[in-house]
Amino acid sequence: MSRDGERLIELVNELGSRISHLLSDMVPPAAQVHLLNAQRELITALMLIYEHRVTTPPPGRARRSAAAPRRAAQGRRTPARAGKIPIE
C-alpha cells in the first residue's frame, strides 16, 4: 500500500474516533457498536476504491494485447449442424 493510502486510513480513523467520542454521551451502546461496524465497512470500501483507482490504468491507456483476445472471441461462431441426428 502506498504512503498516501496509509495517510488516508489514519485520517479516516482519526475522524471516526473523534466523532464517536463526541457522540458517545448521546448514543446508546448498542447503536455505538452498529455505528463502529458501519465505519469499518465504509473505511474498507473507501480503501478498495482508492486502491482500484491507483492501480488501474486510465481507460485510454489499456494494453492492446489484452483487448485482442476479446475481439477474437467475439468473432467466433458455432458451426452449423449437418442435419438431424437419428434417435433410436
Segment 42-74, tens digit of pLDDT: 888 888 888 888 888 777 765 555 555 555 555
Domain, as residue range, for 53: 3-58
Q: Residue 68 gets which letter from DSSP?
A: H
pTM of the model: 0.46
Task: Please report whether residue 11 resides in a domain.
Answer: yes
Task: Please report whether residue 29 resides in a domain.
Answer: yes
For residue 82, give the 3-state DSSP assignment.
coil
pLDDT of residue 6: 80
* Single-letter residue type at 13: N
| Stretch 17-42: mean pLDDT | 84
Q: How many domains does the chain have?
A: 1
User: Quick count: other Cβ atoms within 10 Å of Cβ 47?
Assistant: 15
For the ranges 4-8, 35-39, 77-81, the lowest mean pLDDT is seen at 77-81
Q: Residue 57 gets which letter from DSSP?
A: P
| Stretch 11-23: mean pLDDT | 80
Task: Please report whether residue 26 resides in a domain.
Answer: yes
- Yes or no: say if 58 and 9 are a contact pair by the CB < 8 Å rule: no
Task: Please report whether residue 41 resides in a domain.
Answer: yes
